[in-house]
Amino acid sequence: MLWSGWGDPGKAVTLPPAVLTLLEQALGVQPADGTPVPIAQVRLPESELDPAVATELAMFVGPPNLHTHHDARVKHAAGRSTADLLRLRSGDAPDAPDAVVLPGTHNEVVGVLGACARRHVAVVPFAGGTSVVGGLAARREGFGGLVTLDVRRLTGLVSLDTESLTATFRAGTLAVEAEELLGAKGFTLGHFPQSYEYARLGGFAATRSAGQASAGYGRFDEMVLALTVATPEGTLELGRGPASAAGPDLRQLVLGSEGAFGVITELTLRVHPAPQKSVYQGWRFGSFAEGATALRELAQRGPLPTVLRLSDEAETGVDAVLHGREAGGCLVIAGYDGVPGGTGVDALAAAGADALAAAGGACLDDAVGETWAEGRFDAPYLRDALLGAGAIAETCETATNWSNLVALKESVTAALVSSLSAQDTPPLVMCHVSHVYPTGASLYFTVVAKAADDPVAQWAVAKTAATDAIVAGGGTITHHHGVGAEHRPWLEREIGPLGVEVLRAVKARLDPAGILNPGVLVP
Binders of a copy of itself in range 82-101 (CB under 8 A): none
Nearest to residue 189, comparing CAs of 126, 369, 377, 204? Answer: 204
Q: Which stretch binds a copy of itself (CB under 8 A): 74-82, 255-263, 360-368, 385-393?
A: 255-263
| Straight-line distance from the first to the last Cα atom of the chain, in angstroms, rounded to the nearest whole number | 30
Q: Indicate which single residue of 29, 57, 210, 516 sits in contact with a copy of itself (rule: CB under 8 A).
A: 210
480 contributes a contact to a copy of itself by CB under 8 A: yes
* 381 vs 402 by CB, closer to a copy of itself: 402
Name which of 340, 283, 343 is nearest 307 in CA terms.
283
Q: Which of 336, 377, 402, 445 binds a copy of itself (CB under 8 A)?
A: 402
**How far apart are alpha carbons 15 and 255 in whole angstroms?**
38
Q: Is 309 in the site for a copy of itself (CB under 8 A)?
A: no
Give the footprint of a copy of itself on residues 159-188 (CB under 8 A): 161, 163-166
Task: Determine contact, residues 138/146, Cβ cutoff 8 Å.
Answer: yes
282 in a labelled binding site: no
- Interface pick for a copy of itself out of 16, 252, 374, 457 (rule CB under 8 A): 252
Task: State the burial class of residue 144 (Cβ atoms within 10 Å of its Cβ: 0-12, 13-18, 19+).
Answer: middle
Task: Tell me if 237 contacts a copy of itself by CB under 8 A.
Answer: yes
In the complex, the smallest distance separating the C-beta of residue 317 from a copy of itself, rounded to whole angstroms, is 28
Q: Map residue 145 onto helix, strand or coil.
A: coil
**Given the rule CB under 8 A, which of 244-252, 283-291, 316-324, 364-372 is the region that contacts a copy of itself?**
244-252
Q: Which of 364, 462, 510, 516 binds a copy of itself (CB under 8 A)?
A: 510
Nearest of 437, 414, 409 to residue 426 by alpha carbon: 414
Residue 128 labelled as part of a binding site? yes
Q: Which of 300, 328, 454, 460 binds a copy of itself (CB under 8 A)?
A: 300
Pairwise CA distance, residues 275 & 257, whole Å? 32
DSSP code per residue over 381-407? HHHHHHHHTTEEEEEEEEEEEGGGHHH
Is residue 259 annotated as involved in ligand binding?
yes
Q: β-pairing, 330-338 with 307-311?
A: antiparallel
Q: Residue 458: which residues within 8 A CB-CB, separation 6 or more?
A: 392, 420, 423, 425, 449, 451, 452
Q: Count the residues of the shown chain that bind a copy of itself, applying the rule CB under 8 A.
A: 89
Residues 421-460 that bind a copy of itself (CB under 8 A): 435, 437-442
Our finding on whether 518 is near a copy of itself (CB under 8 A) is: no
Closest approach of Cβ 357 to a copy of itself, in Å? 16
Q: Identify which of residues 60 and 220 has a Cβ nearer to a copy of itself in the complex.
A: 220
In whole angstroms, give the CA distance from residue 397 to residue 446. 9
Q: Answer yes or no whether residue 474 interacts with a copy of itself by CB under 8 A.
A: yes
User: How open is the CA angle 445-299-216, to the nearest 5 degrees?
Assistant: 85
Residue 467 lies near a copy of itself (rule: CB under 8 A): no
CA-to-CA distance for 478 and 473, rounded, in angstroms? 13
Regarding 315 and contact with a copy of itself (CB under 8 A), the answer is no
Q: d(Cα 496, Cα 500) in Å, to the nearest integer? A: 6
CA-CA-CA-CA torsion sign (110, 220, 166, 102) = negative
| Residue 279 assigned as binding residue | no
Query: CA 284, CA 278: separation in Å to the nearest integer?
Result: 20
Rounded to whole angstroms, the maximal C-alpha distance in the chain is 69
Q: Which is nearer to a copy of itself, 328 or 340 (CB)?
A: 340
* 348 near a copy of itself, rule: CB under 8 A: no
- 504 is known to lie in a ligand binding site: no
Catalytic residue among 196, 198, 217, 444: 444
Please select the residue that binds a copy of itself; options are 10, 64, 242, 324, rule is CB under 8 A: 242
| Helices marked H in 438-487 | 455-472
Is residue 482 near a copy of itself by the rule CB under 8 A? yes
Active site residue 280: no
**Between 102 and 201, whose beta carbon lies closer to a copy of itself?**
201
Binding residues for FAD: 125-131, 258-264
Which residues are catalytically annotated? 444
Residues of each annotated binding site for substrate: 383
Annotated binding site: 125-131, 258-264, 383
